[in-house]
Structure 1
Amino acid sequence: MSLKFEVSMRLSRPVHEVFEAVADPTKLSGYFTTGGAVGRLETGQTVQWDFADFPGAFPVEVVEVVQDEKIVLRWEANEGPPESGEGAAGAKYMTTVTMRFSPLDGDTRTLVCIAEEGWRDTPMGLKASYGNCMGWSQMLAAMKAFVEYGVNLREGAYR
Structure 2
Amino acid sequence: MSSNIYVEAQMLIRKSIEDVFEAFINPEITTNFWFTESTGRLEEGKTVTWEWEMYGARMDVKVLQVIQNQLIKTEWGEPSTYVDYEFKEMEKGTLVVIKSYGFSQQGEDLLKIINDNTGGFTTVLDGCKAYLEYGINLGLIEDKFPSK
Taking the aligned partners of 2:136 and 2:105, their CA distance within structure 1 comes to 37
Q: Which residue of 1 aligns with 2:128?
A: 143
1:55 to partner: Cα distance: 1.7
Q: Which residue of 2 aligns with 1:50?
A: 51
The one-letter code sitting in structure 1 at the alignment partner of 2:32 is G
The structure that has the greater radius of gyration is 1
**Alignment partner of 1:117 is 2:101:** yes
Superposed CA offset, 1:119-154 (max 9, x none): 124121321221011100000000000001111112
Which of the two has greater helix per residue?
Answer: 2
The alignment's TM-score, normalised by the length of structure 2, stands at 0.88
Match 2:82 to one of 96, 110, 114: 96
Unmatched runs of 5 consecutive residues or more in structure 1: 78-92
Taking the aligned partners of 2:118 and 2:90, their CA distance within structure 1 comes to 24
Q: Which residue of 2 aligns with 1:84?
A: none
Task: Flag the 1:134–1:53 CA change in 2: closer, same or farther, 3 A.
Answer: farther
Match 1:25 to one of 24, 27, 33: 27
Q: Which residue of 2 aligns with 1:39?
A: 40
Unmatched runs of 5 consecutive residues or more in structure 2: none
SS at match of 1:47: strand
Contact 2:7 2:117 (C-alpha < 8 Å) held by counterparts: no
1:53 to partner: Cα distance: 4.0
Superposed CA offset, 1:87-135 (max 9, x none): xxxxxx3100011001111xx5100000000112412132122101110
Taking the aligned partners of 2:103 and 2:111, their CA distance within structure 1 comes to 7
The one-letter code sitting in structure 2 at the alignment partner of 1:57 is R
- List structure 1 runs of 4+ shifted beyond 6 angstroms: none
Q: Which residue of 2 aligns with 1:83?
A: none
Contact 1:75 1:96 (C-alpha < 8 Å) held by counterparts: yes
Match 1:130 to one of 94, 107, 115: 115
The one-letter code sitting in structure 1 at the alignment partner of 2:116 is G
Contact 1:3 1:126 (C-alpha < 8 Å) held by counterparts: no
Q: Which residue of 2 aligns with 1:61?
A: 62
Over the aligned positions, Cα root-mean-square deviation in angstroms equals 1.6
Taking the aligned partners of 1:37 and 1:121, their CA distance within structure 2 comes to 28
